[in-house]
């Protein structure tokens, strides 16, 4: 269990914290449904699910970093650069070969970013919060330079099919390809974390790095691995984001940073006691996207989205801590 969140376990009352987020989500659904019946429809369900794909990818990768006890604040920059690199490859030629090359190079960029973060943190001993914050600023400058001062790359065409293709395309069930990609990757991550030696060692590093080192685990190696996974999935998110929107620019990744952390922390206090886990993070993603969908259907102003995100982040940590403190 990661050392980032450490809430004490106590009496039965503390179990309320593990179900509080589910209760709030159910309340939200009932509220939005009674106010706007169109909220609880198949069409809106598909909107929520498909809109969860990209945030689910980047938040899933971030979760691996959080499991080992590290922060990665460079994910927004990795998203932006991954999309821009892929966009530069396919901007003027969207053949199958160019699209494959663009996706591959975008993914490689994320691997390099993650490796850089891991080496800086473990090799130079710089705090992960500070190191990845610096990497994020560096990436922002690189993106602006690569796009000639921040211009938007227009990518409409066959490139968009890697994100927007609907399969299967039934009237009542038509998830997009990017949604399947997210589900498959998160399923793989969850299996690795829960069922393999690698996963147990990642968890051990996050729970107590000193004890893990004394037991023979290469703490640095697994921290680097976590950063590489986070960087790779962030850049893949950027590639799919560019495909979904048909464009790539220097600010594309900015909204994902706070939302990814909110989803991860929501998941950490859902069904488990302060333990980061991949499926919990996916729950947090769906929670956020359900909230955003309700705000849109209600016709509320867009500024309510970041307000809701911030409130849910405070809720995720605050409610669990408060219930544990007062009902130990």
Determine the pLDDT at residue 21.
86
Cα–Cα separations (whole angstroms), residue 205 to 94, 108, 210: 43, 26, 8
pLDDT in tens, 259-309: 999 999 999 988 777 789 999 999 999 999 999 999 999 999 999 999 999
The number of distinct structural domains making up the chain is 1
Determine the pLDDT at residue 2.
58
Could you tell me if residue 135 is inside a domain? yes
Determine the pLDDT at residue 321.
64
Q: Is the peptide bond before 182 cis (omega within 30 degrees of 0)?
A: no
Could you tell me if residue 7 is inside a domain? no
Mean pLDDT of 196-222: 95
Query: What gap in Å lies between CA 66 and CA 328, rounded to an integer?
Result: 26
Determine the pLDDT at residue 231.
98
Could you tell me if residue 6 is inside a domain? no
pLDDT in tens, 217-271: 999 999 999 999 999 999 999 999 999 999 999 899 999 999 999 999 999 988 7
Could you tell me if residue 178 is inside a domain? yes
- For 121: left if phi > 0, alpha if psi spans -120 to 50, otherwise beta; the answer is alpha
Domain extent at residue 111: 12-326
Mean pLDDT of 46-74: 96
Which among 291, 325, 306 is positioned nearest to 24, based on CA atoms?
Answer: 291
Which among 216, 207, 230, 231 is positioned nearest to 68, based on CA atoms?
Answer: 207
Mean pLDDT of 78-102: 96
Which among 178, 177, 159, 156 is positioned nearest to 168, based on CA atoms?
Answer: 177
Determine the pLDDT at residue 161.
95
> Across the strands, what pairs with 166?
176
Instruction: Tell me the CATH number at 136.
Output: 1.10.3470
Task: Return the sign of the alpha-carbon dihedral for residues 101, 105, 108, 114.
Answer: negative
Determine the pLDDT at residue 87.
96
Query: What gap in Å lies between CA 1 and CA 208, rounded to an integer?
Result: 8
Average pLDDT of the residues of the chain: 91
Mean pLDDT of 57-84: 97
Cα–Cα separations (whole angstroms), residue 138 to 142, 146, 149, 251, 321: 6, 12, 15, 14, 35
Query: What gap in Å lies between CA 102 and CA 143, rounded to an integer?
Result: 16
The yes-or-no verdict on residue 115 having pLDDT over 60 is: yes
Which among 73, 71, 68 is positioned nearest to 2, based on CA atoms?
Answer: 68
Could you tell me if residue 3 is inside a domain? no
Supply the angle between the helices 197-207 and 42-67 in degrees, to the nearest 10.
70
Determine the pLDDT at residue 322.
64
124 Cβ partners below 8 Å, 6+ apart?
131
Determine the pLDDT at residue 14.
57
Could you tell me if residue 123 is inside a domain? yes
Determine the pLDDT at residue 172.
75
Q: What percent of the chain has pLDDT over 70?
A: 91
Determine the pLDDT at residue 195.
95
Determine the pLDDT at residue 15.
64
pLDDT in tens, 22-39: 889 999 999 999 999 999
Higher pLDDT, 146 or 10: 146
Determine the pLDDT at residue 183.
97
CA 86 to chain centroid:
20
Could you tell me if residue 100 is inside a domain? yes
pTM: 0.92
Structure token pair of residue 235: 């850049």
Query: What gap in Å lies between CA 162 and CA 156, rounded to an integer?
Result: 12
Determine the pLDDT at residue 270.
85
Determine the pLDDT at residue 145.
95
Mean pLDDT of 137-141: 96
Cα–Cα separations (whole angstroms), residue 75 to 156, 216, 265: 25, 30, 16
Q: Is the peptide bond before 168 cis (omega within 30 degrees of 0)?
A: yes
148: three-class secondary structure by DSSP: coil
> Across the strands, what pairs with 153?
248
The yes-or-no verdict on residue 3 having pLDDT over 60 is: no
Query: What gap in Å lies between CA 312 and CA 291, rounded to an integer?
Result: 10
Determine the pLDDT at residue 326.
58
> Across the strands, what pairs with 141?
none
Which among 323, 53, 260, 289 is positioned nearest to 164, based on CA atoms?
Answer: 53
Mean pLDDT of 106-121: 98
In the structure, what pLDDT confidence band is assigned to residue 126 with cuts at 50, 70 and 90?
Answer: very high
End-to-end distance of the chain based on CA atoms, in angstroms?
Answer: 20
Could you tell me if residue 2 is inside a domain? no
* Degrees, nearest 5: CA angle 94-179-277: 130
């Amino acid at each position: 269990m990661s050392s980032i969140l450490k809430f004490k376990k106590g009496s039965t009352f503390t179990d309320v914290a593990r179900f509080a987020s589910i209760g709030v989500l159910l309340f939200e659904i009932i509220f939005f449904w009674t106010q706007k019946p169109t909220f609880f429809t198949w069409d809106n369900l598909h909107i929520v699910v498909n809109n969860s794909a990209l945030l689910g990818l980047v938040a899933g990768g971030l979760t691996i970093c959080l499991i080992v006890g590290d922060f990665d604040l460079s994910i927004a920059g990795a998203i932006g650069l991954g999309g821009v690199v892929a966009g530069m490859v396919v901007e003027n030629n969207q053949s199958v070969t160019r699209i494959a090359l663009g996706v591959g190079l975008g993914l490689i960029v994320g691997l390099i970013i993650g490796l850089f973060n891991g080496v800086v943190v473990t090799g130079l001993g710089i705090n992960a919060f500070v190191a990845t914050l610096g990497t994020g600023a560096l990436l922002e400058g690189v993106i602006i330079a690569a796009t000639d001062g921040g211009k938007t790359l227009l990518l409409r065409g066959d490139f968009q099919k890697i994100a927007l293709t609907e399969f299967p395309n039934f009237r009542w069930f038509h998830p997009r390809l990017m949604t399947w990609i997210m589900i498959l990757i998160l399923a793989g991550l969850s299996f690795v974390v829960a069922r393999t030696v690698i996963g147990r060692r990642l968890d051990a590093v996050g729970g107590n790095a000193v004890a893990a080192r004394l037991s023979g685990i290469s703490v640095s190696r697994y921290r680097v691995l976590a950063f590489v996974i986070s960087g790779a999935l962030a850049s893949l998110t950027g590639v799919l984001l560019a495909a979904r929107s048909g464009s790539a620019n220097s600010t594309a990744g900015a909204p994902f940073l706070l939302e990814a952390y909110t989803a991860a922390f929501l998941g950490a206090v859902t069904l488990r006691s302060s333990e980061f886990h991949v499926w919990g993070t996916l729950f947090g993603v769906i929670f956020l996207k359900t909230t955003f969908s309700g705000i849109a259907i209600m016709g509320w102003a867009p500024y309510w989205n970041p307000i809701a995100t911030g409130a849910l982040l405070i809720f995720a940590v605050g409610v669990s801590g408060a219930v544990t403190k007062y009902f130990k």
